[in-house]
Amino acid sequence: MDCETGIESSRFSRAVTDMDDSKFSSPKPETSSQSPPSAIIVYGADHNAEWQSNQLKTELARLGEVVDAGETDPKPDNYVDISSRVCTLTLVHNGIGVIICGTGIGVSIVANKHRGIYAARCVTPGDANDCKVINNANVLCLSAKTDVQQNVRIISEFFATRFEAIDRRMDRVQRIARVESHNFRPTRAPVQIALIWRRLDRDMAVMTQYLNTNGAFLACDPSLFPEGPISLTLSERGLFNVNARVVQREPTGVAVEFTDGQEEFFQAVSRILERY
């Protein structure tokens, strides 16, 4: 069995879903009133809102590089799965998320179940301004019941606005962070274990540098894994299997997202994380 290991790794950009306390302990304060273009914008729409996607993605493309969370196989189309995937990729890329469903309510509920995500449902440009200036939101949730041109204006206002880092605002977002830290058990840990990649020709052990129940950072040659689905296991006997895909490549490894797998795998990972 071959073993790919690594000691040093660059920061796993905001990590895979709700992971690093130090990164998510409080929303990062900003001082400018205008927001520069975002490097990565993660977009997702469920089946009730897909009809607005072309116009909304055109607007978002003016503001940054758009990653469509729905462009996977199988394609997530319900609001739970699409919102969760948007949040995963938003954290991975340290970006901004934009999610739309029929009402905007469902995706916002799901989004705020992720550590490090501060999602706001907005139906007016004023909402978009307030959630950035006051709350330092990093995920915008839209409703397909809102006119598409209104949603374009909401997007424009959201990305044109920054958090107002005055003492009163800082106090509130720090209080939010304390509530988050109290209610969310940290699920990312610097765990080094071997995950076994079930290749067609042979098995290969790859060391994790960070691990959570939704994914891991694997310390390896970033070109080691192909695009598309890969099969991983915690056991050389083929127990505790999970399917995964690479969501980011860095010089010292890759971030992988666990897509689906045996419940025993996730239970085993949870038990490992309980020790950290």
Residue 85 structure tokens: 């995937």
Question: Which residue, 109, 92, 120, 70, is CA-closest to 18?
Answer: 92
Q: What are the phi and psi torsion angles at 158 (to 5°)? A: -60, -45
Distance CA 250, CA 59 (A): 29
Amino acid at 149: Q
Looking at 87, 101, 122, 141, which residue is catalytic?
A: 101
The burial of 27, by beta-carbon neighbours within 10 Å (0-12 exposed, 13-18 middle, 19 or more buried), is given as buried
Buried b (16+ CB within 10 A) or exposed e, 33-66: eebeebebbbbbbbbbbbebbeebeebbeebbeb
Is 101 one of the annotated active-site residues of the chain? yes
DSSP designation for 263: H
Q: Angle at the Cα of 47 (from 56 to 14), degrees rounded to 5?
A: 60
Sign of the Cα torsion 173, 103, 43, 228 reads: positive
CA separation for the pair 67, 257 (Å, rounded): 15
Active centre residues (catalytic): 101
